[in-house]
Amino acid sequence: MESSKKHIPKQQNLSLLWQFLRGAKRYFFTSMVCAAITALADMLEPQIFRAAIDCAIGGKDGNFPAFVMALAERLGGFSYLGENLWIMALAIIAVAVCKVVSQYAFRVNNTKAAETLVKSMRDRLFSHIQRLPFSWHMHNRTGDIIQRCTSDIDTTRNFLSEQLTSLFRIVVLLALSVTFMLSMHPALTLLALLPMPVIILYSFYFHKKIREGFMECDENEGKLSAMAQENLTGVRVVRAFGQERSEIDKFKKQNDFYTSLWVNMGKVLSRFWSTSDILSGVQVMLVVIFGAVFCVNGSLTEGEYIAFISYNAMLIWPIRQLGRMISEMSKAGVSLERIAYILNSPVEQDDPDAVEAPMDGDICFEHVNFAYENAPQLLHDISFTMKAGTTLGILGGTGSGKSTLMLLLDKLYPLEEGCGRITIGGTDIRKIKTDHLRRNIGMVLQEPFLFSRTIAENIGISSPELNLEAIRSAAAAAALDSSICSFAQGYETMVGERGVTLSGGQKQRAAIARTLLQDTPIMVFDDSLSAVDTETDALIRQSIAKRFGKASVILISHRITTLSAADKILVLDRGRIVEEGTHEALKCSGGIYQKIYEAQSSVQEV
């Protein structure tokens, strides 16, 4: 996908993230406050141990703030506390309870924030994808889109809930740890902080490598997902042509390459973490050794030494977490860019002066020229008029542009300025609201798509409020009612993914019934009767003419019998109209239509 070529600015990613956080901000704020309370509780425990060892047991004068000394005097002084150590034990328990409560509140609010964030992201992505133009979907694979809407969202959620929310706690831990350590022994504190810049710089050095690695892994995971999705939906084709081994080999090759990427990433991360472990171990060793030296020469008390080691452990943990945060930030940054690619893709938009024009007028194509992106021109100067309420037939070979005409009529592909006009009732379709246009054009595509729902739900999908009687009426008009009634569960029969439980003709007729329910003034049947026999074809066309005699009907077909009753027939060849007229006139014209007519008539006779 194009995200590998386009780099989204970091400011834009942060802005997008801030938008996603709208409904979750209060939960994230509460979790950060709870994290700060937990950090403060962590800081208090070593100080209680220090006071107990140095003052309560050792009888030394503690170098504590005035309010701590005042509190000790209120409790009877350190000598009294030394005789009643259970009081200090209760203080440790109270701090531990406070820590447990704050951690619980942190987890609850953090989970609420994360799930609210995910819901917001999924809702917005799905809504945006629904409004993206048809051409965008043609350029982007379904499996990769799904991966961006699932795996990339989870990666972003994990970073925010597990890493970013802990950042505030880490900042508090660092600030308080350094403050307490400086108050006890400035020289040992500077020694403890000496390796920190090296660890931080080393982490940033690996940031770029890790980020690039995750980008490549993420994109190839999308390719793997797309490959699996295509094979699962096309399993019948694979089996029919005996291509299981070929598809397995292709999947294995991509999977091996994807695995090798993660192995390489594991090597990079191993170097990063092992070096970080060595640097952290050296830092801890320096503190333990020099702390013992200072303790022996009397510049550091036993209680301060124990507290200092505790604070150093708290200090080194956030620094080491920084490396993990950078790693996770790299992954989240890649995922955000991939999500931003979708959300930054422009959606379909109407002209500011677009109207809901009447849709029961004449359909006119005026000098229409069209080419798909990065492809040679397909349609060349197409001009014709279809009178309202008539039937238009379109005949042409594969690639002649028949279906493209209908995609342009439905604005599934935009007709650029200077490439002609398409009007309905004299109104340029560019000036007609897209949703209004599509609500009034019923289309049965060449390859009908059915959802994994019941037959009734598939037929009535455009009008969920319709009852079974209306659905059966449309199915009967599509010559499908008797087939459905022969099923054990009738209209409640579940249709497999993409309609795999139905035959090709049944799928086409279900799609026709779905369109008939819309009762639109314009109806398009794009080679949608190719999978039914000629007798059923005739029955369906009779039902359509009887049911919607006033509708403008466009029939695209390779079958002459399907087009023979049309009021006008267009013959396309290589994107141009080469013949135009009625069936009676064209079958004797000596052109393409007559050749096809004679060939098909000969086959029928045989």
Tens-place pLDDT, residues 472-503: 888 888 888 888 888 888 888 888 655 556 77
Tokens found for residue 29: 């704020």
| Number of alpha helices (DSSP H) and beta strands (DSSP E) in the chain | 23, 10
**Quick one: 158 and 85 in the same domain?**
yes
Alpha-carbon torsion, ordered 151, 156, 161, 167, to 10 deg: 150
Into how many domains does the chain fold?
2
Measured distance CA(127)–CA(130) in Å, rounded: 5
Measured distance CA(555)–CA(542) in Å, rounded: 13
By percentage, how much of the chain surpasses pLDDT 90?
Answer: 11
Contact 410, 135 (CB under 8 A): no
Measured distance CA(170)–CA(314) in Å, rounded: 9
Mean pLDDT of 197-209: 73
Measured distance CA(296)–CA(181) in Å, rounded: 18
What is the model's pLDDT at position 500?
Answer: 58
CATH, residue 505: 3.40.50.300
**Quick one: 286 and 197 in the same domain?**
yes
- The count of C-alpha atoms lying within 13 angstroms of the C-alpha of 213, restricted to the half-sphere facing its C-beta, is 19
What is the model's pLDDT at position 423?
Answer: 94
- Which residues are registered as beta bridge partners of 396? 572
**Quick one: 57 and 160 in the same domain?**
yes
**Quick one: 128 and 255 in the same domain?**
yes
What is the model's pLDDT at position 420?
Answer: 93
In a domain, 488, yes or no: yes
Does 2 have pLDDT greater than 60?
no
| 555 CB neighbour count, 10 Å cutoff | 24
**Quick one: 185 and 319 in the same domain?**
yes
**Quick one: 286 and 389 in the same domain?**
no
| 366 CB neighbour count, 10 Å cutoff | 14
Measured distance CA(153)–CA(572) in Å, rounded: 47
Contact 63, 300 (CB under 8 A): no
**Quick one: 368 and 409 in the same domain?**
yes
When pLDDT is cut at 50, 70 and 90, the band that residue 602 belongs to is confident
One DSSP character per residue, 451-500 reads -SSBHHHHHTTT-TT--HHHHHHHHHHTT-HHHHHTSTTGGGPBPPGGGT
By percentage, how much of the chain surpasses pLDDT 70?
Answer: 87
Of the listed ranges 205-214, 396-405, 514-523, the least confidently predicted one is 205-214
Does 520 have pLDDT greater than 50?
yes
**Quick one: 312 and 391 in the same domain?**
no
Of the listed ranges 144-158, 305-319, 352-366, the least confidently predicted one is 305-319
Report which of residues 231 and 186 the model is more confident about: 186
Domain boundary among 288, 311, 344: 344
pTM for the complete prediction?
0.68
In a domain, 388, yes or no: yes
In a domain, 321, yes or no: yes
One DSSP character per residue, 344-375 reads HSPPP---TT-B---SSS-EEEEEEEE--TTS
Does 6 have pLDDT greater than 60?
no
Helix, strand and coil content of the chain, in percent to the nearest 5, comes to: 65, 10, 25
What is the model's pLDDT at position 387?
Answer: 93
**Quick one: 320 and 442 in the same domain?**
no
Q: Which domain, by its residues, includes 462?
A: 363-605
Mean pLDDT estimate for the chain:
81
Does 236 have pLDDT greater than 70?
no
Does 166 have pLDDT greater than 70?
no
In a domain, 68, yes or no: yes
When pLDDT is cut at 50, 70 and 90, the band that residue 3 belongs to is very low
Q: What is the biggest distance separating any 2 CA atoms in the chain, rounded to whole angstroms?
A: 120
What is the model's pLDDT at position 1?
Answer: 47
